[in-house]
A and B are shown apart, each in its own frame.
Chain A
Amino acid sequence: MRRFALIVLLAVLTLPAFAVTPDEMLKDPKLEARARVISQELRCMVCQNQSIDDSEAPLAHDLRVLVRQRLSTGDSNRQVLDYIVARYGDFVLLKPPVQLDTLLLWGLPPAALLAGGIALVFAARRRRSAEAAPAPLSTAERDKLAALTGE
């Protein structure tokens, strides 16, 4: 059910065309390969959670062409991404940048792993010390022991 909701959305939001089409592709295979890598990092802004590389929407087509234009003029991958982010904002990046308002997003998983790990280490220590040092005898027990051993 979950997935077909996705499929429905894709169907509704996209035209029955193709994602990357033959006429968009660059002649230079190295440059084209870089374009594909960059395209997978960029979100198709009018789709739900699709990269421009996968999307058939016209806007994704425009962005793919833009990426290829920038690459052809000699931009590095970083420069292309920066150029597109400057125009469309962080929303276009499928991997959000690490900044103040995404600190929790990036920080929570490692923090949880660390906290869980530390908690486990402490629990193990507590268990070990509990095992190693049994509670001292109470006065009543001591008396009983004394009576038994006859001291």
Chain B
Amino acid sequence: MIPELGHYALVLALGLGLIQSVVPVIGAARREASLMGLASSTALAQFGFVALSFAALVACYVTSDFSVATVFENSNSQMPLIYKVTSVWGNHEGSMLLWVLILSLFGALVAAFGNNLPATLKANVLAVQSWIASTFYLFILLTSNPFLRLANAPFEGRDLNPILQDPGLAVHPPLLYLGYVGFSIAFSFAIAALIEGKIDAAWARWVRPWTLMAWMCLTLGIAGGSYWAYYTLGWGGFWFWDPVENASLMPWLAGTALLHSAVVMEKRNALKVWTILLAILTFSLSLIGTFLVRSGVLTSVHSFANDPRRGVFILAILVLFIGGGLTLFAWRAGALKQGGIFAPISREGALVLNNLFLTTACLTVLTGTLYPLALEALTGAKISVGGPFFNLTFGPLFLALMFAMPFGPLLAWKRGDLYGAAQRLMAAFGICLLAIGLSFAIEGRTSVLAPFGVGLAFFVMAGAVTDLAERTGLARLPPAAVFNRAIGLPRSAWGTAIAHFGIAVTLLGIVGAAAWGTEKIVAVKPGQTVSLSGYEFTFDGLKHEPGPNYTAVIAAFTVREGGDVVGTMRPAKRSFSAREMTTNEAALMMRGPSQLYLSIGDEEAGGLAIRLYYKPLVLLIWLGGVTMMLGGALSLSDRRLRVGAPKPAAKTALAPAE
């Protein structure tokens, strides 16, 4: 009964979606308030029905209803409750339902909180949102129905893939989806603006909070996924340039560019056409990501051809929205008036440069990801494009971008003074040189490039601090005045500085872990001690322990630093009987921002094989991501971006000019 209810709710959502796709557009064209107003009600109801459908699926998993095919294939009655819930989206069908749940959630949010939008814009935005939602409801209902029943209900399920039985699955996919499905709002706003043929600075102000929200979730989702892979895969890598990772990185890069170009549009009424194009491209990249992962085209061009049903459907959606969006853009973009003249050296100019580098970086990732597929499809030649390629191409682009980053916020709008900005960055340059010198003195022999990476990270961090110091008059004014100015500073200024600081923190972590990490791969016998980077690890022995749906082999190690015991590490291997699979549970120990990482392999003649790593500063990689997210959150709380907030009062006019 419950699965049928869920299925039926999804069908109803599709019905509402189709109505919402058509009626508001007609209403907007005829300026009929009742037809336009319909969109808000249907958007809320649509979300209600998708949520009901999703809740029904969760109920099937929680009660282990193995008469439902997807539950049988991906769940098990012995699993802890949290994994029963997370296994809802640990498979294709369920994850697509989560996708549309978030899509309809965003539609409902616009309906509920978009009261300050012009009626026609709101109606068109919700209609476009519903075009996307309806095609995906159709996709689920026709090719990926999670509610299909089995004729004879099996007694026990096949279990969730053991590697996914991790708290990471509870956090990573929902955040990632909030991120890139959230960009659909920017897309809908862009298409609605093109339909109306009218766009102004206010448009950018309406779009920015949604984009910012999506960007924050995506940032956290990528960082979370990276940490999950780091501790789960057993060799301590944190980024693999895998196509599925690239699929999430591309919308992030384009979304970051969009956030910056929307600032120019909002403040200076310039870059309108470009911002619209970026909004379309950002969501297009989210769709491409969905296609890459969901169609099976990545495993091989041929596996895609063998079972093309889902792939072709998503490809059709892709062509429809990307092709349609770009065609509409080409047709209507000419009607948008450009405004806001600025000199090349100016805040706008810096943001344009930012966009050039971010979009080129995004193009690099896109080319690298799709090139092997295209080449094989066209010529049959097989090549691999992996980490070494991206490090060589993407790396320099991003480093150049980071070098330019501290200059941007110090330049004035319209016409800036590059020499003046450089002068104000003298202290930051000093800190940069100091950091380079110190790195060389401490670790110089191991890597020649790494100290420059550290220098760059410190330059950007010091640059972010300089920006705040300049705005608050830290060096010029008495403390009380500085404090008042700091309070009065727009929160978006704080957000910018903190987010810029965050990416530098991430860079520092990457350089530290990649350049100065040490490792040891050895076989140990009980009682034996291995030393690495000043730490000593004594292998105390193995023991077996049963878990809820697995048995674990746990190795205990006592860790000493300079003779003193600092703790024990217990890396483990878990064997899951349902799927006859083993997972590796690495043990981590925090040493400030650095980590010790220990994972175990097989028992051999020489003893137990272990991999031991010292990863200096590694935690900064993800802390930087969290910092970026917090910067975004602060920006989002800025008065002028709060959805529905009144215009800033006269008081803020006293805040320092930006």
Residues of A within 8 A of B (CB): 1-11, 16-23, 25, 40-41, 43, 48-51, 54, 89-96, 101-102, 104-106, 108-109, 112-113, 116-117, 120-121, 124, 127-128, 130-131
Measured between beta carbons, the chain A residues less than 8 angstroms from B549 are: none
| Contact of B397 (CB < 8 Å), options: A95, A106, A109, A131 | A109
| Contact of A5 (CB < 8 Å), options: B244, B344, B359 | B244
Binds A, one of B9-17, B224-232, B447-455: B224-232
Tell me how far the C-beta of A73 lies from the nearest C-beta in chain B, rounded to whole angstroms. Answer: 23
* Cβ of B416 under 8 Å from chain A: no
Knowing that A3-B225, A49-B240, A94-B385 touch, tell me 12 more A-B residue pairs with CB under 8 angstroms: A2-B289, A3-B245, A4-B172, A11-B581, A54-B240, A91-B383, A93-B384, A101-B379, A104-B367, A105-B385, A117-B356, A128-B343
The answer to whether B381 touches A6 (Cβ under 8 A) is: no
Measured between beta carbons, the chain A residues less than 8 angstroms from B173 are: 1, 4
Measured between beta carbons, the chain B residues less than 8 angstroms from A90 are: 381-384
Tell me how far the C-beta of B586 lies from the nearest C-beta in chain A, rounded to whole angstroms. Answer: 12
Chain B 344-359 interface 0/1 with A at a Cβ cutoff of 8 Å (1 = within): 1000010011001101
The answer to whether A21 touches B573 (Cβ under 8 A) is: no
Complex Cα–Cα for A43 and B387 (A): 10
Complex Cα–Cα for A41 and B383 (A): 13
Complex Cα–Cα for A48 and B602 (A): 23
* Cβ of B55 under 8 Å from chain A: no
Measured between beta carbons, the chain B residues less than 8 angstroms from A8 are: 161, 163-164
Complex Cα–Cα for A95 and B383 (A): 9
Binds A, one of B388-396, B405-413, B634-642: B388-396
Tell me how far the C-beta of A53 lies from the nearest C-beta in chain B, rounded to whole angstroms. Answer: 9
Measured between beta carbons, the chain B residues less than 8 angstroms from A51 are: 386-387
The answer to whether B609 touches A21 (Cβ under 8 A) is: yes
Interface residues on B, range: 35 or more
The answer to whether A6 touches B240 (Cβ under 8 A) is: yes
Contacts A16-B581, A95-B389, A101-B375 given; indicate if A1 touches B352 (C-beta within 8 A). Answer: no
Chain B 278-331 residues near chain A, CB threshold 8 A: 289, 293, 298-299
Complex Cα–Cα for A20 and B234 (A): 12
Complex Cα–Cα for A54 and B242 (A): 13
A-B contact pairs, 20 of them (CB 8 A): A1-B177, A2-B225, A3-B225, A4-B163, A6-B229, A11-B163, A17-B601, A21-B521, A22-B609, A23-B523, A48-B299, A50-B240, A54-B237, A90-B382, A94-B389, A101-B375, A105-B368, A105-B371, A109-B364, A120-B353
Tell me how far the C-beta of A47 lies from the nearest C-beta in chain B, rounded to whole angstroms. Answer: 10
The answer to whether A22 touches B522 (Cβ under 8 A) is: yes
Measured between beta carbons, the chain A residues less than 8 angstroms from B527 are: none
Measured between beta carbons, the chain B residues less than 8 angstroms from A50 are: 240
Measured between beta carbons, the chain B residues less than 8 angstroms from A16 are: 573, 581-584
The answer to whether A2 touches B247 (Cβ under 8 A) is: yes
Residue of A nearest to B606 (CB): A22
Complex Cα–Cα for A54 and B238 (A): 12
Measured between beta carbons, the chain A residues less than 8 angstroms from B601 are: 17-18, 21
Contacts A2-B248, A18-B611, A109-B397 given; indicate if A43 touches B384 (C-beta within 8 A). Answer: yes
Q: Which of B176, B387, B604 has the largest count of A CB atoms less than 10 A from its CB?
A: B387
The answer to whether B360 touches A96 (Cβ under 8 A) is: no
The answer to whether B244 touches A40 (Cβ under 8 A) is: no
* Cβ of B556 under 8 Å from chain A: no
Contacts A2-B248, A5-B244, A17-B601 given; indicate if A41 touches B388 (C-beta within 8 A). Answer: yes
Measured between beta carbons, the chain A residues less than 8 angstroms from B522 are: 22
Measured between beta carbons, the chain B residues less than 8 angstroms from A117 are: 356
Complex Cα–Cα for A113 and B342 (A): 21
Chain B 246-275 interface 0/1 with A at a Cβ cutoff of 8 Å (1 = within): 011000000000000000000000000000
Residue of A nearest to B394 (CB): A109
Complex Cα–Cα for A7 and B225 (A): 10
Measured between beta carbons, the chain B residues less than 8 angstroms from A95 are: 385-386, 388-389, 392
Chain B 63-98 interface 0/1 with A at a Cβ cutoff of 8 Å (1 = within): 000000000000000000000000001100001000
Complex Cα–Cα for A109 and B521 (A): 38
The answer to whether A112 touches B384 (Cβ under 8 A) is: no
Contacts A11-B162, A20-B521, A104-B367 given; indicate if A2 touches B389 (C-beta within 8 A). Answer: no
Complex Cα–Cα for A100 and B329 (A): 34
Measured between beta carbons, the chain A residues less than 8 angstroms from B289 are: 2
